[in-house]
Amino acid sequence: MRLPVDLSAWLHKAVLSVGARPLVLGIVGLPGCGKSTWAEEVGKWATERGLGWLAVSLDDFYLEPAARRARGVARRGPPGTHDIVRLTRFLAQVQAPCAASEERTVERPIFDRDAERRLPDQRAHFTADAPLRLCIIEGWFVGAPAPGYEGLARALDRLIYLDMAEADARAARILREAALRAAGRAAMSAPDVDSFWSEALAPSFATWVYPLRERADVIVTLDARHAVTGLAIQPAAHR
C-alpha cells in the first residue's frame, strides 16, 4: 500500500506547520480497519523524506490483567483499560521543548498482547542531525475526550479517520485472529471475537468513535478489502 498523493502532500504541509517540534498525528477508526498498517505506511513516508519519527498504538498502554481487575474491568480494549500515567509521561516526552542542538529520548511502551504483560520500554533516541518530527498514535478511540484521555485528545495536532463499515471491520478482525491462530499465536475464535466485539467494543462506538469522523482532518473511506474508495481532506479551520 502507498499513501494517496493528496494525503502525502497534506502530511508534508502538516509537518511544516508545527515548526521544529514534532507533529502529533492520530489515526483512529473501528477495530479491524487497518490502523496499524496505516501507521506503518505513514512511517515509511517519513523515512523516505529523512524525517525522524516514531509510532505507538494505544494498545501499548494497556494495563496488565491484575490492574484491570482491580478496576473491575475484565477485558482490555475500552476506555479505562490503559495506563494513563504512562500515556501522560509519553506525551510529555514527545512534546517537551527541545533546542536544535539537543538530543531527545522517548521511552516507547510495549505491551505483549499474547502474554498479557508489559515489556521493558524501548528507548528511542533522536539527535540534532535527525530530530523527531513526527509522532503517530493509533487506536480505535484515539482523539476522543473519554474520561482520563482528554490529554491525548488535546495533544493531537492532526487526526486521520479511517472510515470502514462496522460489519466489514468486524469481519476483518475475525480474519486477523484466524491468521494469528494459523501462525501459532494466541488468538480468539470467531465466537470469541463476536462476544468481545458486542460486549467490550461496540457499546462505545457511538460515544467515542463515530463523532470523531466530523472532527477529523482527513477521512479515508475503505472497502471490505481495506482499499481506499474515498479521501476527504477537511479545511484547516474546520475544527
Domain definitions of the chain by residue range: 5-233
Give the span between the Cα atoms of 15 and 21, in whole angstroms: 9
Q: Please give the average per-residue pLDDT across 151-165, as a whole number.
A: 97
Per-residue pLDDT, averaged over 7-11, amounts to 96
| pLDDT at residue 38, as a whole number | 98
Average pLDDT of the segment spanning 30-57: 96
128 is written with which cell numbers? Answer: 540534532
Q: How many CA atoms lie within 13 A of 212 on its CB side?
A: 29
Model pLDDT, residue 187: 73
Residue 168, pLDDT above cutoff 70: yes
Lookup: cell for 27: 489515526
Q: pLDDT band at residue 176, thresholds of 50, 70 and 90?
A: confident
In this prediction the pTM is 0.94
pLDDT at 97: 79
pLDDT at position 185, please? Answer: 78
Nearest to 62 by CA among 46, 45, 53, 75: 75
Confidence class for position 237, pLDDT limits 50, 70, 90: low
Quote the pLDDT of residue 107: 95
Query: What pLDDT, on a 0 to 100 scale, did the predictor assign at position 224?
Result: 95
pLDDT in tens, 134-155: 999 999 999 999 999 999 999 9
Of 56-60, 99-103, 169-173, which range is least confident?
99-103
What's the CA gap between 78 and 82, in Å, rounded? 8
Q: Is the pLDDT of residue 119 over 90?
A: yes
* 118 has a pLDDT exceeding 70: yes
Q: Name the CATH superfamily, with its identifier, for domain 5-233.
A: P-loop containing nucleotide triphosphate hydrolases (3.40.50.300)
Burial class (CB in 10 A: 0-12, 13-18, 19+), 38: buried
Q: Indicate the pLDDT class of residue 196, thresholds 50, 70 and 90.
A: confident
Residues 202-229 have a mean pLDDT of 96
pLDDT at 239 over 70: no
Q: 149 versus 127: which is more confidently predicted?
A: 149
Cell numbers placing 67: 490492574
